[in-house]
Structure 1
Amino acid sequence: MSDMNKFSLDDTDRLSFGAARNLSEAAGSEIVLQPLDLRLPDSAHHAEELSLCGTWEFARDGNASARLGTPWKDKFTGHVPCSIHKALFDAGLLPDPTVGRNQILAREESFHTWWLRCRFRFSADNDSRWHLCFDGVADRCIIWLNGKEIARHQGMFGIPEIDVTELLEPDNELTVMLEPIPFEAMEENNAANNASWRRSVVINNVYGWHYSNLPSLGIWQPVRLRPLAAIELHDPFIFTRDAAAGRMALCVPISATAPATETLRLGIRPLNFDGQALSCDIPVKLDAGHGELRYEFTIPHARLWWPNDLGEQNLYEMTVAVGTSVYRHQFGIRTIEMAPLPGGVDANLYNWQFVINGRHIFVSGTGWCTADALLDLTRERYERFLSLARDQHIRMMRAWGCGLPETDDFYDLCDRVGIMIMQEWPTAWDSHNDQPMDILKETVERHTIRLRNYPSLVMYGAGNESPNPFGEAIDMMGRAAIELDGTRPYHRGEPWGGSKHDYGTWWGNEHIDHHLSAVAPFWGEFGLASVPSVESVNRYLPEESRELWPPENNPDFVYHTPVFGYANDLARLKRCAEYFLPQDYDLKQFVAASQFAQALAVRRVLERSRTRYPECTGVLYYKLNDNFPAVSWSSVDWYGAPKIAHYVFQDSFEPLHACVLFDHCGFEGQAVELPVYALDDNNELAAVRHCEVTVRAFDAGLHLIREQRYTPQPDGSAPMRLGSFCLSCEETVSAPLFVVCDIVADQSPRSRTFYFSNFESTRGGLFRLPQTTLTLFVTDNRVTIRNTGAKPAVGVMLAIPGHNHYVSFSDNFLWIDPGQELTVLVSGADETTMTLLAISCLNMVEE
């Protein structure tokens, strides 16, 4: 049977959801855009929204009779939007929840009733109706305006708009009561784990199952009054029919209070590049009630949106205006298709080959965690982590079902840095069977409509690690993906349909070799936990416990492990770190060793996956970031400080990269043939006159014991097997043993990576290498490092103490040959900060 007559799991899933229609399939009227900027008439200017963000009053406990319309003697003030925990901390009423075990104290505030109140003046200069909008309240609330109850709601991802026109006065009082978070014990071995999240729709990663135990409570997203017009636009949707041709479609949901003849004005302008603005005036006849307008058009000289490293992230802004209703949103010209794996269409597999703008790509990626347990989700915080993701050559992040439908700031920044998002809805571990269906449906539909114009959004997912992703809720999400969008795939689960999750080394206590030969058609999640930097650890340890050692003697250290120490966390951590540690070690060595283990284990999966393309089409390691400061699987800690893994993964994901594959970490006294590959995602080598890959091996004395050279033969973007790097049994007796791999194109060094093996038999060998000397030369933001010794410098790290959470280095954790100079660029540091620059490496002579 040919593939044309077969059905993939995507096909059978789509049919099973029973969607009433596919929003993207219906054709629209053809319109022609003119090379003119859109000019809106004065009549199009409508009353502006009134923000109710800012200073609010907060008070704990009490009832409606005591709180409505009365002075609050026990009040304090805070800034909305925020969580209750953040407001208490900012007001000096709660110690920093991130330090020590203060989180235990802060958590108790989630189990109280909280009252929030603001007063505002209002004057209407037209006949508009006004809706009160809460974009996010956690979790169950009752709302009063001027003493009248106007809404009750559950679910933290937005409240349906409330018509308050008849209740508004010149002076107004808005009061919100937040009900306590329920507690439902879940596990005997983790008394903190609160299963009540399964009875609502919330961010569940703050409910005590992973290093954060601050169940969200608060008005955590903006509050505003929105004027309604006689004719209302309801989130128009623009999407790409044919990227190369610039063919676009526009769907305009619209409502009118009465029949009307109007002009719909459409404007398209470049948002982040120079180009011609376009516009079109379209006469429309509207019936009373809700309707939908559809149009098809061409954007001439279209500039496409591409994922990170594969092209530019060109963005346009769309403006749609009818009467006094105006809608603006950015978009990109981008198509996504899913093609089958090389084995062809399979009824048990999703089509895992991502095809962007007609181009088959390998997906280099990671997991994305809620950025802060206290819900301090500032644009600046997002910018820090997403810029590091861009530098790490990340093309996709999985916003997993334990988090949230991400914010507009998050998606705007992902659009700009070229990071595709797999957005999962907030379900996990079959919770969709327990969560209220109406709240789930409200959440899914609301945020599908909100997010669908962002080109970075490329896939919807039902949730995280549900063993049985079936049922009414899963089908509802599938229908929403088709009926409200139709241009993006939807997966009923992750892992499912061929993707894989693997934590054999951490939870399964497997040897670290487990990672070296692991394969999958698509990696949805895997990883290894490590300790943040010493500087970060000392930020979350109270001063009085910073000197407590070993770590099992420090309850604050143990508390900041993945499950607060309840799941043998420290034993698991030590087992992984002790591959590299001497018999006696300190915190600095412990941190380094745990980060070595993480970098080694994950990097081997990343590189092996890339060399298997297209049998493996993508790899999403777990994870980029944290919701709380702790020992975790992240490559960048909660504060924003990169771990060693960040730089190692950055090397592994370079578009032009050479690598060596290993089946085992230890092979002392054994002859080995190690496969050598060149990886060239963008076919750069086709334009190069000469390219050479050099692989070298060094023994424990850092003596060169073998060198081989290879010449890649470009073959599009396919991985190039260059041969094997062969070491005899005599050459592998060294412990440790290092392998260094360089790729040079037209005499320009393009990529270097180094590996360490044979580290188990000589405990602590990486910390006892022959020493060398390094010098630094700093010019503005350029740092030149010179190895002035006779031995290679291993694991060279730059840092700026006290500033590593916001300063960035273009490269780090380096191998520098004797006499060699390398230049590293520093961003985010001013002239004064640069004076604090420090350097270290595994074998540097200490001054």
Structure 2
Amino acid sequence: MRKKLLFILLLAAVLFFEPKAQSVYELNDGWKCIKASSVKENGSIISSYGYNLSKWKTATVPGTVLTAMLNNKEVPDPFYGMNNEKIPDIYNVGAAYYTYWFVKDFNETASATEQVYLKLRGINYSCNVFLNGHQLNKTLHKGMFLSQEYNITSYLNKNGKNRLAVIVYPPDVVGNANGGQGGDGTIAKNVTHQYVAGWDWIQPIRDRNTGIWDKVLIEKTQQVKIQNTHIITEVPGIRKVEGAQQPAIIHVSTELYNPTAATVSGVLSYELDGNTITENITVPAQSTKAVQLKDLSLQNPKLWWPNTYGPQNLYPLNLKFTIGNVLSDVDSSTIGIREITTYWNNVTRSKEVAVNGQKIFIKGGNWIISDAMLRFSDERYDAEVRFHRDMNLNLIRIWGGAITERPEFYTACDKYGLLVMQGFWGSGDCNGRWVDPKKKDDQWTRRNYPDDHHLFIESAADQVKLIRNHPSLAIWCGGNEITLPEDIFHALKDSLMPLLDGTRWFIDYSNSDSMSYNFLGGNGDGPYGIQNIKTFWGERTYPFNSEVGSVGLSDYTSLRRFIPQENLIPPVYENGKYKVDSVWQYHKYIGYNKTLDAYGGAKDAADFANKAQLINYDQYRGLIEGFSAHAWDWYTGVIIWKTQNPWTAMRGQMYDYYLDPNACLYGLHTAGEALHIMFNPVDSSVMVVNNTFEAHHDMMLQVLLVGMDGKQRRITQVFSEIGPTTVKKYLSVAGALRRSSAKQGVFLVLRLLNLQQQPISDNLYWLPDSTGNYSGLQNIASTDLNIKATKVSNSQIQLILSNPADKPVAFFNRVSLLNSKTKERILPTFYSDNYISVLPGESKTIIIDCNNMPSEAAIEIEGWNTGNHEYKIN
């Protein structure tokens, strides 16, 4: 009896002293919308709970007006065929056509000590906000990148039934989508994104993405709210990935907001890896108090490293304010402990980036936006960033004509180890760098865009606070290919950044001399489009190139998703000119010139798209290998233009809009290995690049030549070593190649093996005959792969591909996860490797990873000389 009574008393004590947690939730369903011109009532009436919404339609929030119209089947899919031409453009029909009311009913109340806040994280472009008959904003709110937060405690209905109503207006100047970069350029008069008026990789977005495009949140706290927390990690010295670490220093500051009429005292605290920091704080009534907590010296920290260099260790850090035994508010972060520094490399004449004291060779990709119509999701962000991880890249640059990326994007970059270069909202095209007959205003006028400089600066400050605690955020960039207007530029660089985020490199603009000294002339970036592979290796370009790229057509399965059957006609290139179908042109096809001719040309669109994958693989493998071959003497980094498309374009993508990868991705995957063996086509040498911080000894270096008949000839097999963070040339195979490839071409196989004879790096090149044609590939005999597919978990399949010993190379096999009933690819699916070639008598093992794998899943393999087959999964 005594034990039972003691247990009851202890339980009561726990329940009594349990802190009452704050809550944050998203208003993301149940929204209604209607064109504003179709209703006469004002916001006070519309936001009253009894107002009749029966004639209103379902809205998508976060989303845009066009998204709601699409989801309500009022417009065709603008990403398919020429459908975008069937949708009225705002420039022609006027802003009122896309001015909409959005309404959401929700349940919420507040006790005597509670405070409730409404946060709108992003509306494009201006709005008025009403709740339960009251207008919350005193003046019209403007700016795509300026969030809003309102204390709505006093406006909540006592019965808990509340109605939020927001009228959203398009950008003040919508711009003429006249075919120029950013149309006529006037879209840049607003503080908004610029691509919506069209670019050379996208058609215009007809509503200019008008809408409540980002999250709408309700936050409930006790008397005091935590806001604008800033976490800085210092990692002094030069660190290694493995072994014990010297301490790291953690700096935490925040603001405590007390909107009540009474002074409040409490305890501000956080715990990190078993260490607790606390401070007693008193916050005066109706005030905000800035607090700098005592620094924490974290012993033996687990560090965060960029992809391919080390693990992405992350720690939870929950900052709490407690009043007595009641939790007033908690601000939850996930941090990575790392320090980023930059130095000027006098050899390359460019900046180099160091993480935790170790220099990092930047292999990056340019990112526009996840979806051109702003249909974001955590799952899509995770998949896209994971693809960049799988490309073996270590940086994503956010292009300046789009947005400041969302915290959910940065969460994925934190997870997968992608550093981020975040640009602000300006571009050389719209903002006056060049003479442009497509532009409405002259360069002098455009140079001063946007119209409201104060709004730009205020928005920038807001966005910096939103994302600055993410370890992946590495670099800020003023503008794309141009500095921002002088007063904005100096406000950011000299005042705002030192105050809000003084630990990161701020670049004046994307191809600034401060990043990469331009001693070659031109714009400081490029070239773009298809190139001779030798160019990447032998012709020196900008030492930290922010934009350089090639082609990127996806395969035939991808093309069929957005091109009508009657338009699936392959391009023809003759006498330096293209004959291209109108839908291909509309979706921004970029040419392959005569490169397919070396493979026998294209019989039809399917043959064209699938042979294009050979060129895709070669182009992007060659790009990264060529830059890596000159790491630290010519280059400190390279950023590919570009690695993804936010709509159904036909250029610059390693995976398509539907998240289906193409061969570009796996060319990068091969070339970007941390330790990589490669072939220099300029001097026919074999080289190894070591992008790790450790020397590697006792590597077996193998060079094989394999004929079209499958017969192998060993050129060399020798134990080798290489130092940390370096590139090394080993031998020339020029003579052997001349003798072996002249008639039919040859396969060149380069391998590094460890002492257990397991491959560290395995790289296969297909080389042409003496005429530059792949005559041997065109006539290679077929082979039948032996396939074993085993499901090893709910989301993973182990696939083993084996090639008989008496057969030729099983060349360039695309693996796909398929729904055996619908015959559609299951997307997104991630492959440890793809477009795989298997030598005679050998096998390759890959892991297929898919979170939404149905019971009907099957494996499809289509190869150059293995046919197209479907296989069951054991």
Is TM > 0.5 for Structure 1 vs Structure 2? Answer: yes
- Corresponding residue of 2:141: 153
- Corresponding residue of 1:293: 291
Deviation at 1:544, TM superposition (A): 5.2
Q: Is the 8 A contact 2:790 2:798 kept in 1?
A: yes
- Corresponding residue of 1:648: 667
State yes or no: 1:722 paired with 2:730.
Answer: yes
Count, aligned residues:
774
State yes or no: 1:325 paired with 2:325.
Answer: no
Counterpart AA for 1:775:
N
- Corresponding residue of 1:433: 448
Write out aligned runs for 1:189-338 (5 A). 193=183, 195-209=185-199, 210-214=201-205, 215-227=208-220, 230-242=223-235, 244-256=246-258, 260=263, 262-269=265-272, 276-286=273-283, 289-294=287-292, 295-322=294-321, 323=323, 324-338=328-342
Deviation at 1:459, TM superposition (A): 1.2
Counterpart AA for 1:437:
H
Deviation at 1:301, TM superposition (A): 3.0
Whole-angstrom CA distance in 2 between matches of 1:706 and 1:400:
46
State which of 836, 842, 845 in structure 2 corresponds to 1:823: 845
- Corresponding residue of 1:65: 40
Change (3 A) 1:805 1:356: same
Counterpart AA for 1:524:
S
Write out aligned runs for 1:303-702 (5 A). 303-322=302-321, 323=323, 324-343=328-347, 352-429=351-428, 431=431, 433-435=448-450, 436-466=452-482, 468=483, 471-478=486-493, 479-496=495-512, 497-499=514-516, 502-506=525-529, 513-519=534-540, 520-543=542-565, 545-546=567-568, 554-561=581-588, 569=589, 572-575=590-593, 577-578=595-596, 580-615=598-633, 616-663=635-682, 673-682=683-692, 686=696, 688=697, 690-698=698-706
Change (3 A) 1:191 1:353: closer
- Corresponding residue of 1:669: none
Q: Is the 8 A contact 1:505 1:514 kept in 2?
A: no
Whole-angstrom CA distance in 1 between matches of 2:507 and 2:525:
19
Change (3 A) 1:195 1:577: farther
Change (3 A) 1:53 1:516: same
Write out aligned runs for 1:67-216 (5 A). 68=43, 69=46, 71=52, 74-106=55-87, 108=89, 112-126=98-112, 128=114, 130-151=116-137, 152-170=140-158, 171-181=161-171, 182-185=173-176, 193=183, 195-209=185-199, 210-214=201-205, 215-216=208-209
- The structure, 1 or 2, with the larger RCO (C-alpha pairs under 8 Å, 6+ apart) is 1
Tell me the TM-score normalised to structure 1 length. Answer: 0.84
Counterpart AA for 2:70:
F
Whole-angstrom CA distance in 2 between matches of 1:99 and 1:677:
45
Greater alpha carbon shift after TM alignment, 434-443 vs 573-582: 573-582
Deviation at 1:812, TM superposition (A): 1.5
Counterpart AA for 1:681:
N
Change (3 A) 1:229 1:692: same
Identity of aligned residues (%): 20
- Corresponding residue of 1:800: 817
Counterpart AA for 2:129:
I
| 1:746-805 CA-partner distances (Å, limit 9, x unpaired) | 111222122334479466647614123122122221111111242122212212342253
Whole-angstrom CA distance in 1 between matches of 2:227 and 2:770:
62
Whole-angstrom CA distance in 2 between matches of 1:46 and 1:679:
52
- Corresponding residue of 1:666: none
Q: Any idea what SS the aligned residue of 1:174 has?
A: strand
Change (3 A) 1:186 1:542: closer
Deviation at 1:421, TM superposition (A): 1.1
| 1:128-173 CA-partner distances (Å, limit 9, x unpaired) | 5544321111122233334554432222223332344554434543
Q: Is the 8 A contact 1:580 1:760 kept in 2?
A: no
- Unpaired stretches in structure 1, ≥5 consecutive residues: 1-38, 270-275, 562-568, 664-672
Counterpart AA for 2:193:
I
- Corresponding residue of 1:13: none
Whole-angstrom CA distance in 2 between matches of 1:555 and 1:279:
64
Greater alpha carbon shift after TM alignment, 707-716 vs 753-762: 753-762
Greater alpha carbon shift after TM alignment, 624-633 vs 599-608: 599-608
- Corresponding residue of 1:34: none
Change (3 A) 1:165 1:844: closer
Change (3 A) 1:515 1:691: closer
Whole-angstrom CA distance in 2 between matches of 1:41 and 1:391:
50
Q: Any idea what SS the aligned residue of 1:624 has?
A: coil
Q: Any idea what SS the aligned residue of 1:218 has?
A: coil
- Corresponding residue of 1:743: 752
Q: Is the 8 A contact 1:119 1:172 kept in 2?
A: yes
Tell me the TM-score normalised to structure 2 length. Answer: 0.81
Deviation at 1:392, TM superposition (A): 2.1
Whole-angstrom CA distance in 2 between matches of 1:642 and 1:827:
13
Q: Any idea what SS the aligned residue of 2:401 has?
A: coil
Whole-angstrom CA distance in 2 between matches of 1:553 and 1:720:
44
Change (3 A) 1:444 1:755: same
- Unpaired stretches in structure 2, ≥5 consecutive residues: 1-13, 237-245, 432-446, 519-523, 573-577, 792-796, 819-823, 870-874
Whole-angstrom CA distance in 2 between matches of 1:91 and 1:704:
61
| 1:698-744 CA-partner distances (Å, limit 9, x unpaired) | 56666657723444223123222213222265555345444322111
Counterpart AA for 1:45:
K
Change (3 A) 1:609 1:247: same
Change (3 A) 1:130 1:505: closer
Whole-angstrom CA distance in 2 between matches of 1:211 and 1:426:
18
Deviation at 1:179, TM superposition (A): 2.1
Deviation at 1:420, TM superposition (A): 1.2
